């Protein structure tokens, strides 16, 4: 599985029992705290392996660091945050590479494994499936509010907690259910990743916008116009395939296109299993939300926001 159909990671079958999953991601800082940034960047990089139904095995650090402008301690704290998340994932750090660069960036290359018959893609959604999301959205709007110094301490803490949470727990629970398709929500925003699922699965998707979980105050900030440029770019790019109920609030729609850092898993599964999945997430202290359904067969795959 590679470049012909866009998915979260590359998959290479080694033998009947094992396929390799390979992915690479890195970010520029999203918080003032280097330790938190390290956790978030690592969780973000590991997420694509979970989205493919796999388990991360080994990781390597990738670092671009402005050694003349920032103290070495910033790098050490970032790597410490990353390592804590690597340990939590159960993967082993086996190396890495760093270069001097004017703009600080950190992330991981991740190698995972999966049973070749259990690979989850964004192409398998079936008519009548429920669509589940495992983290609230709004991190792009929140980052804009943080830069504008309008976000409260509570807002920042919630965003950091959401972004640094591994998708490991949700991925483990997916193994107990018949999952038809899965991806994670990142830069294209919820709507963009839904459209990739719609296109890949050749189905229309209906989303009940009011059921989509949002970070606290994200809607207020979006109403104030604190919407990142990336959200407008996403909207422009994905709008031709999106049917938006004209009665929807503009800020609520903007949030559907808000680019996410280290977002949750987006899952389609038999609607009869959806409630049980949500309840099971509570048993590990996490949440999941049923936000919509997979509709009819369709050549392009439309997204309908109501
Ligand atoms: Co992804
Ligand atoms: Co990725
Ligand atoms: Co090297």
Q: State the CATH number of the domain containing residue 194.
A: 3.90.650.10
Angstrom CA distances, 285 to 10, 159, 162, stand at: 31, 17, 13
Which ligand is closest in space to the CA of residue 26? 2
Compute, in angstroms, the gap from residue 149 CA to the centroid of ligand 1.
30
Which ligand is closest in space to the CA of residue 63? 3
Higher pLDDT, 31 or 135: 135
- Cα angle 120, 210, 208 (rounded to 5 degrees) comes to 50
Contact 305, 207 (CB under 8 A): yes
Confirm whether 4 is domain-assigned: no
Contact 204, 198 (CB under 8 A): yes
35 and 107 share a domain? yes
Quick one: which of 237, 260, 259, 235 has its CA closest to 248? Answer: 235
109 and 167 share a domain? no
- Tens-digit pLDDT profile for residues 184-231: 999 999 999 999 999 999 999 999 999 999 999 999 999 999 999 999
Compute, in angstroms, the gap from residue 8 CA to the centroid of ligand 1.
4
Q: State the CATH number of the domain containing residue 56.
A: 3.30.1330.10
Which ligand is closest in space to the CA of residue 62? 3
Number of domains in the chain: 2
Q: Strand 265-269 and strand 130-133: pairing?
A: antiparallel
Confirm whether 123 is domain-assigned: no
Quick one: which of 38, 142, 32 has its CA closest to 96? Answer: 38
Range of the domain at 37: 10-118
Compute, in angstroms, the gap from residue 128 CA to the centroid of ligand 1.
24
Compute, in angstroms, the gap from residue 48 CA to the centroid of ligand 2.
6
168 and 282 share a domain? yes
Residues 37-63: what's their mean pLDDT? 97
Which ligand is closest in space to the CA of residue 97? 3
Residues 261-286: what's their mean pLDDT? 97
The answer, yes or no, to whether residue 1 has pLDDT greater than 80, is no
pLDDT-derived band at 300 (thresholds 50, 70, 90) equals confident
Q: How many CB atoms lie within 10 A of CB 187?
A: 15
- Phi then psi dihedrals of residue 169, to 5 deg: -60, -45
Which ligand is closest in space to the CA of residue 196? 1
Percent of the chain whose predicted confidence (pLDDT) is above 90: 95
- Tens-digit pLDDT profile for residues 78-124: 999 999 999 999 999 999 999 999 999 999 999 999 999 999 999 99
């Amino acid at each position: 599985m590679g470049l012909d159909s866009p998915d979260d990671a590359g998959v290479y079958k080694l033998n009947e029992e094992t396929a390799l999953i390979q992915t690479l991601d890195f970010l520029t800082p999203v918080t003032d705290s280097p330790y938190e940034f390290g956790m978030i960047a690592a969780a973000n990089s590991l997420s694509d392996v979970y989205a493919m139904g796999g388990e991360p095995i080994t990781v390597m650090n990738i670092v671009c660091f402005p050694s003349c402008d920032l103290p070495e301690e910033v790098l050490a704290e970032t790597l410490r945050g990353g390592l804590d998340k690597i340990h939590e994932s159960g993967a082993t750090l086996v190396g890495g590479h760093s270069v001097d660069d004017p703009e600080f960036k950190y992330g991981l290359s991740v190698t995972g494994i999966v049973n070749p018959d259990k690979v989850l893609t964004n192409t398998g959604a079936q008519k009548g499936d429920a669509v589940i999301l495992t983290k609230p959205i709004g991190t792009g709007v929140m980052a804009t509010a943080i830069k504008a110094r309008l976000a409260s301490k509570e807002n920042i803490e919630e965003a950091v907690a959401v972004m640094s949470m591994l998708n490991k727990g949700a991925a483990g629970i997916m193994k107990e259910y018949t999952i038809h398709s899965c991806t994670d929500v990142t830069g294209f925003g919820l709507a963009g990743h839904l459209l990739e699922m719609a296109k890949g699965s050749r189905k229309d998707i209906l989303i009940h916008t009011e059921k989509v979980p949002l970070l606290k105050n994200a809607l207020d900030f979006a109403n104030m116009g604190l919407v990142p440029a990336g959200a407008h770019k996403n909207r422009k790019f994905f709008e031709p395939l999106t049917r938006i109920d004209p009665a929807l609030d503009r800020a609520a729609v903007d949030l559907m296109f808000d680019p996410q850092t280290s977002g949750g898993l987006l899952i389609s599964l038999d609607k009869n299993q959806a409630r049980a999945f949500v309840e099971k997430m509570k048993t590990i202290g996490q949440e999941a939300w049923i936000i919509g359904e997979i509709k009819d067969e369709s050549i392009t795959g439309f997204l309908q926001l109501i």
